[in-house]
Structure 1
Amino acid sequence: MKHPDDSGTAHGGSDAGSDRPAATATPEPPSPAVSFAGAGLPAEVLRTLTRLGVREPFPIQAATLPDALRGRDVLGRGRTGSGKTLAFGLPLLTRTAGRRAEPKQPHALVLVPTRELAEQVTEALTPYAEALRLRMATVVGGLSIGRQIAALRQGAEVVVATPGRLHDLIERKACRLGRVRITVLDEADQMCDLGFLPQVVDALDQVHPEGQRMLFSATLDGDVDQLVSGYLRDPVVHSVDLSAGAVTTMEHHVLVVHGPDRYAVTTEIAARDGRVLLFLDTKHAVDQLTRHLRASGVRAGALHSGKSQPQRTGTLAQFKDGRITALVATNVAARGLHVDDLDLVVNVDPPTDTKDYVHRAGRTARAGESGSVVTLVLSGQRREVSRMMADAGIEATVTKVRSGEAELSRITGAKAPSGTPLDGSAAPRPKNTNAPFRGLGTSKGAAKGTSRGAGGTSRKAGEARRLAEARKAAAVRRNNG
């Protein structure tokens, strides 16, 4: 196979040189490909697409494939779940095919913000890489750096990496980027948000100066704009599926809950039939809720940055194959997590900004499927959450709910948990200094005659019951005596 670079022409069609001019958007890109075959992909790739049941390109793929295959710098904007991985991955693999990497010197680089996204990209591209006889290596933190050094030493044409671990490998002289002619920045805005901009810039300064660069991001402001203007040459801009909230198959609900009832509502949602992804703000809160759910009979698993990579990988695998039905996570799962047929995402803690909301929501209604996003709010949070969702262009249905009610079940599929502990321990009482916990599965009907928010039965009612039972027992003893 003749490689597209064999003509000696620099990628992008402009004059070669190490001084890259500032990026300018091309207003009218070529007509998008209407099929994978029409895009000019190799026969090996087309056969693999057919074998995997991938028949028609998604909009972002149809829009970017022609330009990316020609070697143009591409700036893509699209929500997560819109098909960006194949949009950049198929051109990257096609244009790298036919080359053989020397030890420690890859020819193509994909930079991503999280370990989960790195593994997902590698998993998605591996069948096509194998069809083209390309070797891939994934380098991320949390896994053995020795094994990653060994993989690079054996030779890998394509490297998928997180910026921090790649920087470590470069510092150890285990990886050199001078022969990288295709560089992809996926989820560039999150890499900048996580503080990886210095490592990203360092990597871009080391790759081949005449190489092709593709940047995909949900937003193009701040640090991302700096990357675009500094490192992309005359990029073709494609904006597709900008907001998860704009997906017509996605429903948005704001459920107003009473403070003491929040945990009970959450638990009943988690106990639904089918999988659910629940987001909380902190690692501690994730662990606490996961323990509570498992002790209540819900097959729950925790995912956050405090877990080791093998733990995170194992938990995700169990969630995908159904052994875990409720995944409790921090924002580490807001990007790079693809689960087929995930139809419900719950913000137990409301997101703090529109970007977080959009990416959390993007875990459902992927690839044309339907799904719902539910945000639990206390009455005092309604105004702030409404403002945030309005800024995101999202119209949500607002409903007041309590645990055990039919309306909660209608919206989320909530049901009472089995109550049988999965780990041999009783359900821990959640620590909540602001309001007492009503108790799991306690509906208004079940709590009839008791004071609200007091764990099911008020203290006075309990004392009266115990006194009545003591008097009855004394009367029985007198009659028997």
Structure 2
Amino acid sequence: MTTFTDFGVPAVLSTALAELGITTPFPIQAATLPDSLAGRDVLGRGRTGSGKTYAFALPVLARLAASKSPRRPGRPRALILAPTRELATQIDATLAPLAAKLGLRTLTVFGGVGANPQIKGLKAGVDVLVACPGRLDDHLRNGHASLDAIEITVLDEADHMADLGFLPVVRRLMDQTPREGQRMLFSATLDNGVDVLVKRFLHKPVTHSVDSATEAPIEMSHHVLHVRGDDRFPVLVDLLSAPGRSVVFTRTKRRAKVLTRQLVQAGVPAVELHGNLAQNARNRNMAAFSEGTAGTLVATDIAARGIHVDDVALVIHADPPVEHKAYLHRSGRTARAGAAGTVITLMTDDQQSEVRDLTRKAGVRPKTSRTRPGDPLLAELAPGERTFVAPTAAPAPVATAAGTPRTGAARRTGRGRGPARPAETAVPEQNAGGGRRRGGSGQPRSNQPRSGQARTGQARTGQARSGQARTGSTPVHTTQSRSGGAAAFSSGTRVGGSRSGR
């Protein structure tokens, strides 16, 4: 059996990996490590979940440790660019324990949070900087950092950066790194201008393609459930009340927050992830999902790339995506690192042709079944005893945008709710121009946790229960919506409809 040490990974890193239960390299790691450790420019192509993070993290740390260059204030030695805050955070979580073994320091930089701690971290000196493009560009413009000491640059999920419009600022950042430095680019595809980055910044790159992004993993089973419009929510509740972690994708931010509230009211502990949540709320909700306090994550395509949580058994496309690539990236939240997983698409009558075209372009042949609530097929797809958690009847006070607490009675719950102010103001991620961006001024709402009464039985479908639910011991941040009841979800969104962001 080939080990990391066989590829030239330092013993201290191989031992640290073994302590984490990682002993055998994945294909993308085995393919790229000999070249990346030798200092060559590398172009790695592989779908999400194929193990790309360790493929670049190990050579970055090994080469920095070997170079013995001093750590200097405001002059990081390695740069890893990522398209989203969540991905940057996860990369750092992978890097930091290994870096500590070598006496190296890491730092994350992204928007949506205060800049001062990042500025202090840069001034203190950092070996590996993991950053989103826009906020890093701001720090450079303001003189808080320089990229002239960068020895290694990594672009992760480069195609996703292109999708988000970050290529101009990425080019500007790359131009500020030394031309003789090593550069690695990892991407699922080479479209959307990624090939321009390769030609401009990589010098005779060695290309390795593993786990094509245009093919679904063989460990992943695909199903299309043909449902009536008013059956969508009951079917969804049945699937999500089974044991295990699930990720549910919606097309818009509003539908994500509406559906999350409906699921909680139906007894399914769920949290949301979308662009209208401030960073602290995103962190809280991801922690609740990762720790198992909430078994369901309802998300827009912001979670389709770079989000890794162990043991996600089920991905549900509550709203089928527009593009086949989005279908594959969403589905990639399960069946990761060789594990098995199930992908389910909910389809109504008017979505048949779009879903058929979507799955054909994605290269999958799902099993299509007409389904009603109570169908035994649901228990086959999501096995286990169904469990529901009753929402709390008397929620804790909630801070409004003005900072004035409101009681649960003042907020009113269920249908017929009056106009509600958003509990979280949108904090957009970096824009491509790197200039000044809008930030949220509202105070994040922090719901105090209360453990609900667990009970088993039939799911209550769409009937709103009074009170705002909390799940387990972790505060869950949500945004309020004026729409209530399952009807808002069951009405559906046509596959080719308009987008409203992430």
TM-score by length of 2: 0.77
1:9-408 alignment, distance < 5 Å: 34-97=2-65, 98-243=68-213, 245-408=215-378
Distance 1:78 1:281 in 2: 25
Displacement of 1:52? 1.3
Distance 2:393 2:308 in 1: 28
Pairwise CA RMSD: 2.1
Q: Could you say what secondary structure the match of 1:252 adopts? A: strand
Distance 2:184 2:416 in 1: 50
2:216/2:328 contact within 8 Å kept:
no
1:78/1:239 contact within 8 Å kept:
yes
Distance 2:87 2:247 in 1: 17
Displacement of 1:268? 2.0
2:45/2:187 contact within 8 Å kept:
yes
Letter of the 2:124 partner, please give it.
Q
**CA spacing shift, 1:96–1:386, aligned 2, 3 Å:** same
1:447-462 alignment, distance < 5 Å: none
**CA spacing shift, 1:110–1:63, aligned 2, 3 Å:** same
1:182/1:212 contact within 8 Å kept:
yes
Distance 1:360 1:123 in 2: 22
Displacement of 1:413? 3.8
Q: Could you say what secondary structure the match of 1:246 adopts? A: coil
Displacement of 1:263? 1.7
Displacement of 1:256? 0.9
Distance 2:325 2:392 in 1: 35
Distance 2:380 2:230 in 1: 21
**CA spacing shift, 1:422–1:400, aligned 2, 3 Å:** farther
Displacement of 1:297? 1.4
Distance 1:298 1:367 in 2: 27
Flag the structure with larger Rg. 1
Distance 1:313 1:93 in 2: 26
Report what 1:26 is aligned to.
Answer: none
1:291/1:427 contact within 8 Å kept:
no
1:423-438 alignment, distance < 5 Å: 424=394, 428=415
Q: Could you say what secondary structure the match of 1:418 adopts? A: strand
Letter of the 2:31 partner, please give it.
A
Query: Where in structure 1 are there 5+ consecutive unaligned residues?
Result: 1-32, 431-438, 443-453, 456-481
Q: Could you say what secondary structure the match of 2:75 adopts? A: coil
Distance 1:225 1:248 in 2: 28
Q: Could you say what secondary structure the match of 2:71 adopts? A: coil
Structure 1 position 410 matched with structure 2 position 376: no
Displacement of 1:363? 0.6
Displacement of 1:244? 7.3
Letter of the 1:283 partner, please give it.
K
**1:375-426 deviation per Cα after TM superposition (whole angstroms, max 9, x unaligned):** 1111221211111211121111111111222122222348766373246586
Letter of the 2:195 partner, please give it.
D
**CA spacing shift, 1:320–1:35, aligned 2, 3 Å:** same
Query: Where in structure 2 are there 5+ consecutive unaligned residues?
Result: 395-411, 418-458, 463-485, 488-502
Distance 1:423 1:188 in 2: 46
1:299/1:422 contact within 8 Å kept:
no
Task: List 4+ stretches of structure 1 deviating above 6 A.
Answer: 414-417
Distance 1:272 1:118 in 2: 31
Distance 1:422 1:34 in 2: 53
Distance 2:329 2:414 in 1: 31
1:297/1:422 contact within 8 Å kept:
no
Please identify, of 406-415 and 176-185, the stretch whose mean Cα deviation from structure 2 is larger: 406-415
1:106/1:156 contact within 8 Å kept:
yes
Distance 1:428 1:228 in 2: 53
Please identify, of 304-313 and 111-120, the stretch whose mean Cα deviation from structure 2 is larger: 304-313
**When you count helix as a share of all residues, which structure comes out higher?**
1
Letter of the 2:206 partner, please give it.
V
Of all paired residues, the percent bearing the same amino acid is 47
TM-score by length of 1: 0.81
2:249/2:299 contact within 8 Å kept:
yes
Distance 1:343 1:324 in 2: 14
**1:50-75 deviation per Cα after TM superposition (whole angstroms, max 9, x unaligned):** 21111000000000000001111111
**1:331-364 deviation per Cα after TM superposition (whole angstroms, max 9, x unaligned):** 1111121111111000100011111111111110
Displacement of 1:120? 0.3
Q: Could you say what secondary structure the match of 1:408 adopts? A: helix
Distance 2:388 2:156 in 1: 42
Q: Could you say what secondary structure the match of 1:216 adopts? A: strand
**CA spacing shift, 1:327–1:243, aligned 2, 3 Å:** same
Distance 1:51 1:128 in 2: 11
Distance 2:320 2:166 in 1: 25
Distance 2:388 2:53 in 1: 40
Distance 1:235 1:219 in 2: 16
Letter of the 2:82 partner, please give it.
V
**1:15-37 deviation per Cα after TM superposition (whole angstroms, max 9, x unaligned):** xxxxxxxxxxxxxxxxxx93201
1:402/1:408 contact within 8 Å kept:
no
